[in-house]
Structure 1
Amino acid sequence: MRRSIMLVLALVTAMTGTLSGCGNAVRGNEDVKTIHIFQFKVELLEPLKELKAEYERTHPGIRLDIQSVGGGSDYASALKARFASGDEPDIFTNEGYEDRETWFEYMEDLSDQPWVKDLDDFAREPMTVDGKIYGQPMNLEGFGIIYNKDLFKKAGITGLPRTLNELEETAQRLKESGITPFANGFAEYWILGNHLGNIPFAQQEDPAGFIAGLNDGSGQIPGNPVFEQWVDLLDLMVKYGNPYPLTTDYNAQVTMFASGQAAMMHQGNWTQPQIDGINPDLNLGMLPAPINNDSAQGDKLAVGVAANWVVNKNSPVKEEAKEFLNWLVTSETGKKFITEKFQFVPAFKTMEANEGVTGDLGMVVAEHAKSGEIWTWNFPGFPKGYNHDNSSSMQAYIAGVITRKEMLQEFQESWNNLKFR
């Protein structure tokens, strides 16, 4: 028995040494510095592998350890777990505004970095505190009403709708031609709570001032004319949409649209790769989402920064991390990755979206960003949990469980309950 125990201990010791040796090999020798990167855009898995290989080839003293958590996984919880365990990444992604405040104590001030001067002006806001920049924007994204140009043509639609009445006329023409006007994925909280929920905030005369009023009690959602008009748009989308929208998720929505079963959907340019995977020949456009009959309001898309690279100010390799981020947006190789491999709409004045790979939708977003015809992204600044609450209220309204008045009152109560948590 004693001999058996000694043999087991010897085996465990040998295995431990082997694993330890493997760990050292992975880390490399002491002259190699590892930058640990934690991010949530899982669609970048393959191009990030290529980026890693290229950077390590041209920077022999640096190793990139890139981990991606997203899709069906909760990135925010995973990031908190990493910090709680002491396994802090050197670079991580942050959505800005409310998320910026959550992680502010860990953020390195990047204001002195060479790329800051080249930022698009509105791309600065999500990561700016007291005039200082704490994150590098990954890209610009935009959302509105994506439409199938060929189905519009089939229905005899020649002019694009810019007002709510014109949008209803368009939907009616499509319906009469046997085409479902809208694919609605209202099973997803973020489709409702983030993107549709952004519209009545963005179209306030002063979105930031309106949000400040909600926070100090001087502003109210019930009775606000922009919110009242916005419900008219929601009603129109439901009236002319697919059956059972509350059980239709994102994948089903995009599949329905990409396969030609619907002519429009309220989504963003991030859907281009999935659409192309189903039908790469679709002729696509993107329209603003009108809430009233003021045609002057119907020329803007909601454009903003989807995520930002942040450097952990406690990182032992923060200078190397900053050098990597600078290379990413200033070197020709890095720019090529952003515009071609990542298929991003860049957030920098020194870069142009690549028409050959960005796709129809990305080019529309790039054009609006360049012209300044944009609505702001306000949902990243909502109180934590508000987008979940307001999506639940929207779902109850769509299901006929509550009235319009009750939905808007629930929006207000949710904001009041969450704003200072």
Structure 2
Amino acid sequence: MAGGPGRRHDGNRIPLCRALRFLRGGLFYNKALAAKVGITAAPTTLDELEADMAKAKDAGVLPLQLGNAQGHASFLVQSIGQSEDGAAAAAKWAFGTKSASFDTDGNKLGAQKLLDWNAKGYFPATANSVDLQGAVAKFGAGEGLFFVDGNWDASKISDALKADAGFAVFPGKTQTAIGSSVGYAISAKSKNKHAAAAFLDFVHSPEASKLAFEQGFLPADTASVSAASGTVQQDLLTAFGQLRSTNGIVPFNNNAPATMDKTLTAETQRLIGGQSDAAAFIGAVQDNWVKVHG
């Protein structure tokens, strides 16, 4: 909110409020399966992640749960790409900055890893026909060592796996995450300015922060919430703190532009289906971006 929470406006200003934070691209993991295959901590590098997935595969455990009916494999590509390229560079493309390109070393690596990991059997064979919530249910049922998802599914995963649920920043060269927030504004012509401002004040209050956090969202004021040690909620707070300190949150690629979600869904399905390669994927994504941003 412009001027900070608690400031009323005089009818000429339009206060803004960023209320709830979403993190996508974080790494959920099953602690029980990790222990089963000899893994004692969440991976912090891409090499460690790949080594852990290889261990899982050798032990007969699905390495990474994935539902790509709605294109969520694109978040794997983005997580790898922005970690390699850096959050600032990745954000330029996501925000539609002129002359930005998707054809980067990081995104090429991400697309190739998606191909390689699928070829190695690290994903479910039915990934392209399962939606996100179907994958959440499967992960909660113990199918998969790792799962890339957002904080909004943390409560479901925690309820299903209990103490075995863990969460960490996606492992890579730099600490980044795909993220966004819910934005609120008050029109300068509003007939109920003070009531709206009071609502924005409430959204930033300790009471509202606790309510939001209980539902799996990261509130604007994380200082007013807490979680028991060893829980996935505590992991989320730790990860969010790390990402804020490094300014590592990048907007969703599938929102840049509005038609990108459809393109990413189709192109990741083609990759996983063996009908495309990394270069064709990069080209198709950039072509869609150029049609809107030039």
Measured against the shorter chain, the TM-score band is: 0.7 to 0.9
CA distance in structure 1 between the aligned counterparts of 2:150 and 2:96, rounded to whole angstroms = 28
Greater length-normalized contact order (CA 8 Å, ≥ 6 residues apart): 2
Which residue in 2 is equivalent to 1:48? none
Secondary structure at the residue paired with 2:73?
helix
Question: Given that residues 114 and 326 in structure 1 are in contact (C-alpha distance below 8 angstroms), is that contact kept between their aligned partners in structure 2?
Answer: yes
For 2:62, the aligned partner's letter is T
Aligned ranges 1:18-417 → 2 under 5 Å: 110-115=1-6, 134-189=16-71, 191-193=72-74, 196-197=77-78, 199-201=80-82, 203-205=84-86, 206-207=88-89, 210-211=92-93, 215-217=97-99, 219-222=100-103, 224-238=104-118, 239=120, 240-290=122-172, 297=173, 300-302=175-177, 304-330=179-205, 332-340=206-214, 342-348=215-221, 351-356=223-228, 360-371=231-242, 372-373=245-246, 375-379=248-252, 382-417=256-291
Gaps of 5+ in 2: 8-13
Structure 2 length normalisation: TM-score? 0.81
Structure 1 residues 364, 143: CA separation in 2 closer, same or farther (over 3 Å shift)? Answer: farther
CA distance in structure 1 between the aligned counterparts of 2:178 and 2:276, rounded to whole angstroms = 31
Can you list the C-alpha shifts for 1:266-323, whole angstroms capped at 9, x where unaligned? Answer: 1122212222443434342325243xxxxxx26x241633322333443311221111
Structure 1 length normalisation: TM-score? 0.59
Question: Given that residues 385 and 418 in structure 1 are in contact (C-alpha distance below 8 angstroms), is that contact kept between their aligned partners in structure 2?
Answer: no
Q: State the structure with more CA Rg.
A: 1
Gaps of 5+ in 1: 1-109, 117-131, 291-296
Which residue in 1 is equivalent to 2:11? none
Structure 1 residues 114, 256: CA separation in 2 closer, same or farther (over 3 Å shift)? Answer: closer
* CA-CA distance at 1:417 after TM superposition: 0.9
* CA-CA distance at 1:215 after TM superposition: 4.3
Question: Given that residues 140 and 345 in structure 1 are in contact (C-alpha distance below 8 angstroms), is that contact kept between their aligned partners in structure 2?
Answer: yes
* CA-CA distance at 1:334 after TM superposition: 3.5
Structure 1 residues 403, 136: CA separation in 2 closer, same or farther (over 3 Å shift)? Answer: closer
CA distance in structure 1 between the aligned counterparts of 2:101 and 2:171, rounded to whole angstroms = 23
Question: Given that residues 26 and 150 in structure 2 are in contact (C-alpha distance below 8 angstroms), is that contact kept between their aligned partners in structure 1?
Answer: yes
Secondary structure at the residue paired with 2:257?
coil
* CA-CA distance at 1:209 after TM superposition: 7.2
* CA-CA distance at 1:415 after TM superposition: 0.6
Structure 1 residues 133, 324: CA separation in 2 closer, same or farther (over 3 Å shift)? Answer: closer
Count of aligned pairs between the two proteins: 282
Structure 1 residues 317, 410: CA separation in 2 closer, same or farther (over 3 Å shift)? Answer: same
CA RMSD in angstroms comes to: 3.1
For 1:386, the aligned partner's letter is M
Secondary structure at the residue paired with 1:262?
coil
CA distance in structure 2 between the aligned counterparts of 1:382 and 1:194, rounded to whole angstroms = 14
* CA-CA distance at 1:338 after TM superposition: 3.5
Question: Given that residues 140 and 306 in structure 1 are in contact (C-alpha distance below 8 angstroms), is that contact kept between their aligned partners in structure 2?
Answer: yes
Question: Given that residues 18 and 181 in structure 2 are in contact (C-alpha distance below 8 angstroms), is that contact kept between their aligned partners in structure 1?
Answer: no
CA distance in structure 1 between the aligned counterparts of 2:256 and 2:164, rounded to whole angstroms = 35
Q: Percent identity?
A: 20
CA distance in structure 1 between the aligned counterparts of 2:167 and 2:79, rounded to whole angstroms = 21
* CA-CA distance at 1:264 after TM superposition: 0.9
CA distance in structure 2 between the aligned counterparts of 1:152 and 1:336, rounded to whole angstroms = 31
Question: Given that residues 183 and 262 in structure 1 are in contact (C-alpha distance below 8 angstroms), is that contact kept between their aligned partners in structure 2?
Answer: yes
Secondary structure at the residue paired with 1:141?
strand
